[in-house]
Amino acid sequence: MAEDKQVLNDLRGIQRAAILMLALGEKDAATILSHMGPKEVQELGLSMAGMTNVTTVQMEQVMRSFVDTLRDQTALGLDSDEYIRNILTTALGADKAGGVIDRILLGRNSKGLEQLKWMDPRAIAELIRLEHPQIIAIVLSFLESDQAAAVLSEFPERVRPDVIMRIATLDGIQPAALKELDEILEKQFTGASNVKSSSLGGIKTASDILNLVDGAIEGNIMEQITTADQDLAQLIQDNMFVFDNLIDIDDRGIQTLLREVASDQLLLALRGADEALKEKIFKNMSKRAAEMLRDDLEAAAPARLKDVEASQKEILTITRRLSDAGEISLGGAGGDEFV
């Protein structure tokens, strides 16, 4: 797509290399740097140090360009998709790499699905509104969580729980399902009949989407899912990361998050937070900033619950972006477990 090329065109070669190195992690990046000369290491190191606010789109396009180049170099009778999946999984780790790899390999032949990422949520909802809920679930699983949440909000109330349950129980996407999606998107989507099963969907995808929908919508969906399947509802709930779970992030992570959040946004979001979380936020601010925030909270006029929840959702979106970039580690529900 023209937009995809523009993302890459806006990045210099050294910036693309820096993004790739940051995505690979310390160990693999260090191995690569050990094979470079002093000048190359200095230039790449400076570029890596200067990389801030790398977007998901930039990262995915850089990875896709890397995969395409790698495929050109490994077309000697190898199963290139499997080869690429294995080396990127080794480099990035299964959890971090899974969604990116699937979007790269599936998206290579999925022009229609890729185009959906650039569409307005309401337009996407209109496009798939009359389709079977399973098809809707597949489409939403392919989208980023915040975009999928916005699309889900456009559907009637009675449809939402069914779609979330199907996402949560989606165990790979078979060629037959992709073929059906092929027919739905008509000429926008081609060449998917030979794509292997993708790991899109699942409990975490459903939880991530629910994290980002309006609070009232989320509550209604969870209530109906609980009625239909209490065990599934519990699994989804256990994987959700809600605003109060910010207390489980370590102090360094909180400080990183606060640098990305506007002061008025934080002020509104904390109106609905418990005292323990407020204290943790205050502890990770300068004394003067904490005192000013306390005073503002005490003096602030009453706010609508809907506005408070919307601000909290925006901060959760920032939190997940930082987590996906490896800048913070989520604790508690939906976070990584350590032994």
* Mean local confidence (pLDDT), 172-190: 59
Provide the terminal-to-terminal Cα distance of the chain, rounded to the nearest Å.
44
- Give the integer Cα–Cα distance in Å for 324 and 173: 23
- Give the integer Cα–Cα distance in Å for 314 and 325: 17
List Cβ neighbours of 265 (8 Å cut-off, separation of 6 or more).
311, 314, 315
pLDDT of residue 162: 92
- Going from N- to C-terminal start, the domains of the chain cover 2-107, 120-239, 243-324
Question: Based on the number of CB atoms within 10 Å of its own CB, is 43 exposed (0-12), middle (13-18) or buried (19 or more)?
Answer: middle
Q: Report whether pLDDT(100) > 60.
A: no
* Angle ∠(119,120,122) on CA atoms, nearest 5: 125
- Which pLDDT tens digit goes with each residue over 38-67? 556 767 777 777 777 777 777 777 777 777
Give the CATH architecture of domain 120-239. Orthogonal Bundle (1.10)
Residue whose pair of structure tokens reads 């529900």 in the numeric block: 333
* Mean local confidence (pLDDT), 28-45: 71
pLDDT of residue 236: 87
Give the CATH architecture of domain 243-324. Orthogonal Bundle (1.10)
- Give the integer Cα–Cα distance in Å for 255 and 337: 22
* Mean local confidence (pLDDT), 183-210: 61
Averaged pLDDT of the chain: 76
- Give the integer Cα–Cα distance in Å for 236 and 333: 10
In sequence order, what DSSP letters do the residues of 129-187 get, joined into one string? TTS-HHHHHHHHHHS-HHHHHHHHHTS-TTTHHHHHHHHHT---B-HHHHHHHHHHHGG
- Give the integer Cα–Cα distance in Å for 155 and 306: 19
pTM, two decimal places: 0.47
- Give the integer Cα–Cα distance in Å for 260 and 258: 5
Q: Report whether pLDDT(193) > 50.
A: no
In sequence order, what DSSP letters do the residues of 192-250 get, joined into one string? -TTPPPB---SHHHHHHHHHTS-HHHHHHHHHHHHHH-HHHHHHHHHH---GGGGGGS-
The yes-or-no answer to whether 120-239 and 243-324 have a common fold is: yes
Q: Report whether pLDDT(112) > 70.
A: no
Confidence of residue 85 (pLDDT cuts 50, 70, 90): low
- Give the integer Cα–Cα distance in Å for 254 and 285: 9
More confident residue, 225 or 143: 225
Secondary structure letter of residue 330 according to DSSP: -
* Mean local confidence (pLDDT), 121-145: 85
pLDDT of residue 192: 38
Confidence of residue 189 (pLDDT cuts 50, 70, 90): very low
